Chain A
Amino acid sequence: MALDVGKFIKAPEYDIKIITRRDVFQASVCEEDCFSDECLELSALIVLDAAEMKRMGIQDGANVRLTSIWGSVVVRAMASPREEQKGLGFMVNGPWVNALVSDETPGGIPAFKDIEVKISISKDGMTGIKELFLL
């Protein structure tokens, strides 16, 4: 049997900052059913600048692993239709991005819009909601 050497090679990691935001489509779908596939599709998603994705070797629609010191999730990467600031990624508020947020809360407010993570291409499937919470 041929050895899959690729799986032993660690994908390169890049530092980015995640900023959370709202999305009416995700909010309405998740209000109806937070366990649905549609809610997963619209929540486990990171939007990045297209040129940045190219630089990092990430294809539009590919799965990426996001890792902070607080947690790690696999989500889908999507190219922004417009130019974004370099080094930024955007995710809608929800359990996936919240898995990465620090427990340090100066002023009683978590850093929802200042989440430092490492991003790398992943061959794993998107992190499911039950996996995320060990339900």
Chain B
Amino acid sequence: MEMTEPITWTCTGCALLCEDIQVYIKDNRVEKVEHACLKGKARVYGCKHTAMSTVDQEEVDVNNAIRQAAEILEEARNPLLYGWSNSTSEAQVAGIELAQTLGACIDSTSSFCQGITINEIINGSVPSCTLDEVREKADVVIYWGADPMSSHPRHLSRYSYFPRGELRQRGYEEDRTAICIDVTQSRTAKICKGMFFSIPPGGDAEFMQALMDGLAGRVPKLSYDFDVKRILELAAVLKKAEFGVIFAGLGLVYSIKEEFDLISEFMSTLNRFSNFFLIPMAGHFNMRGFNHNLHEETGFIHRVGFTKNGPVSGVEYSVVEQLKHGADAVMVVGSDPLASLPLSISRRLKDIPLILVDPCSNLTTRVADVTIPCGVSGIEVGGTAIRLDGKKMDISPLIQGDGLSDEMIVRRIMEEVS
């Protein structure tokens, strides 16, 4: 086989946005991929069933589908625009403009993911750093309720544990300590060996409080069975850290979501003795981008309603609350809520007009009133995205697609609505 020159590509398989992927293209098709993880390869090779342009499940011309989508949104009294984490920042900005034009609600998957953590970072309540700084400087890394070996497979090898760094020339063997706090011995926990701390479900807040006691020289108290000596030993390791990082996973976020101020209190306590930062383990490639883009426009990171008095934010504008008793039409961009939300909530999508903009045929496609296929962001569509640590990245398309980008579709709908 004749081998072409590889293209260096930024992967949109997850929010790590690995920029060292080598892709061989021949005749506008991906021939071979190097350096990518399983998730990255799945993203590059794409889905087996691509979406079709449909209205009422019948195939139509894409222009008709766009017109029908605009009609649904115009007729709705309380439309919701949802998804966005698999879109470029340019498409997200277009979506925010459309929501403003319609007086709609807009929310993203961050609403029930890392939004709450990203909000603390954007507002300056919690110190954060970049993955590049982690690679060069970090000597203590904590995976708390996070299992990057399963969610972000190259996290440890590219940044957080295995690589040599400017101040960590002896790498993981001598220069880095990896700690895992979780309810199960995950793949990541196995790497942390003697530094795995098994806690009961919902036990994170107490463990955090116990660690703060340990840091302050008090005897930690816990309502569940745990060897206090191990907490004191962990506190000692944290105190000695030169550059420590907590990778906050959903295990932590969900466990303490109703007392989230504890995170900033914990970081402040920790940083009286040490130098720690927190990075949220955002999943989809541009989930954090949505938060930054919406924040720039409205001052809020998600769950926004555009009212006559301007943008407002609150839990009542969240996707789950809107689906339960709010939205009377929904446009989903780059997400599959029927697969990713509780069925007790997502089943309402069958009862209200639903528009889906997505490259692939998925579960939501099967119940959508209008589907509009779009190019795959990062494969057929370029733009920018924000990595899970907040770094802005350029995304270049790999191949020429046939269809419209999600940004173009949103802008076409906006023209029809206007």
B176 within 8 A of A: no
Picked from B38, B336, B345, B366, the residue with its CB within 8 Å of the CB of A28 is B38
A23 touching B324 in the complex, CB below 8 Å, given contacts A32-B42, A109-B254: no
Interface string of B249-280 (1 = CB under 8 A from A): 01100110110000000000000000000000
State how many angstroms separate the Cβ of A37 from the closest Cβ of chain B: 12
> Which B residues are CB-close (under 8 A) to A23?
150
Q: Are B42 and A114 in contact (CB under 8 A)?
A: no
Q: Are B41 and A28 in contact (CB under 8 A)?
A: yes
Q: Are B201 and A24 in contact (CB under 8 A)?
A: no
Instruction: Kindly count the residue-residue contacts between A and B in the assembled complex, taking CB atoms under 8 Å apart.
Output: 142
> Which A residues are CB-close (under 8 A) to B43?
31
Which one of A1-9, A50-58, A81-89, A117-125 is at the interface? Answer: A81-89
> Which A residues are CB-close (under 8 A) to B201?
17, 19, 85, 88, 113-114
B151 within 8 A of A: yes
Q: Are B198 and A85 in contact (CB under 8 A)?
A: yes
A22 touching B150 in the complex, CB below 8 Å, given contacts A27-B42, A101-B343, A135-B366: yes
Which one of B72-80, B94-102, B127-135, B182-190 is at the interface? Answer: B182-190
> Which A residues are CB-close (under 8 A) to B339?
34, 94-95, 98
Cα separation A106 to B116 with both chains bound (whole Å):
13
Which of A21, A23, A90 gathers most chain B CB within 10 Å?
A: A21
State how many angstroms separate the Cβ of A23 from the closest Cβ of chain B: 5
A12 within 8 A of B: no
B399 within 8 A of A: no
B153 within 8 A of A: yes
B195 within 8 A of A: no
Q: Are B344 and A70 in contact (CB under 8 A)?
A: yes
A71 within 8 A of B: yes
Q: Are B39 and A19 in contact (CB under 8 A)?
A: no
Within A74-117, the residues touching B (CB, 8 Å) are 80, 82, 84-85, 88, 90, 93-95, 98-99, 101-103, 105-114
CB closest chain-A residue, reference B319:
A108
A24 touching B343 in the complex, CB below 8 Å, given contacts A31-B39, A34-B362, A90-B184: no
A14 within 8 A of B: no
A32 touching B37 in the complex, CB below 8 Å, given contacts A103-B324, A106-B258, A133-B366: no
> Which B residues are CB-close (under 8 A) to A98?
339-343, 346
Interface string of B164-204 (1 = CB under 8 A from A): 00000000000000000001111000000000001011100
> Which B residues are CB-close (under 8 A) to A113?
201, 250-251, 254-255
Picked from B49, B183, B200, B254, the residue with its CB within 8 Å of the CB of A112 is B254
A24 touching B37 in the complex, CB below 8 Å, given contacts A19-B201, A103-B345, A113-B254: yes
State how many angstroms separate the Cβ of A112 from the closest Cβ of chain B: 7
A35 touching B47 in the complex, CB below 8 Å, given contacts A85-B183, A108-B320, A113-B251: no
Interface size, chain B (Cβ < 8 Å): 55
B111 within 8 A of A: yes
B147 within 8 A of A: yes
B59 within 8 A of A: no
Q: Are B186 and A21 in contact (CB under 8 A)?
A: yes
Cα separation A84 to B198 with both chains bound (whole Å):
10
> Which A residues are CB-close (under 8 A) to B294?
none
Picked from A27, A34, A101, the residue with its CB within 8 Å of the CB of B363 is A34
A84 touching B343 in the complex, CB below 8 Å, given contacts A24-B151, A34-B362, A108-B112: no
Within B145-161, the residues touching A (CB, 8 Å) are 147, 149-151, 153
Cα separation A30 to B343 with both chains bound (whole Å):
18
Interface string of A124-135 (1 = CB under 8 A from B): 000001001101
B45 within 8 A of A: yes
Interface string of A26-45 (1 = CB under 8 A from B): 01110111111000000000
Picked from A21, A105, A112, A114, the residue with its CB within 8 Å of the CB of B321 is A105
Which of A24, A88, A110, A129 gathers most chain B CB within 10 Å?
A: A24
State how many angstroms separate the Cβ of B379 from the closest Cβ of chain A: 12
B318 within 8 A of A: yes
Q: Are A101 and B344 in contact (CB under 8 A)?
A: yes
Cα separation A25 to B166 with both chains bound (whole Å):
33
Picked from A32, A80, A93, A108, the residue with its CB within 8 Å of the CB of B315 is A108
Q: List 19 A-B contacts (CB under 8 A).
A: A19-B201, A21-B184, A24-B150, A34-B336, A34-B339, A71-B344, A88-B184, A95-B339, A101-B342, A101-B344, A105-B112, A105-B324, A105-B345, A108-B303, A108-B319, A110-B320, A112-B254, A114-B201, A135-B363
| 10 A-B pairs with least C-beta separation | A108-B318, A101-B342, A103-B344, A28-B42, A22-B151, A33-B48, A28-B38, A31-B42, A108-B315, A105-B320
In addition to A98-B342, A107-B257, 7 A-B residue pairs with Cβ atoms within 8 Å of each other are: A21-B186, A24-B38, A28-B38, A85-B200, A95-B343, A105-B345, A129-B363
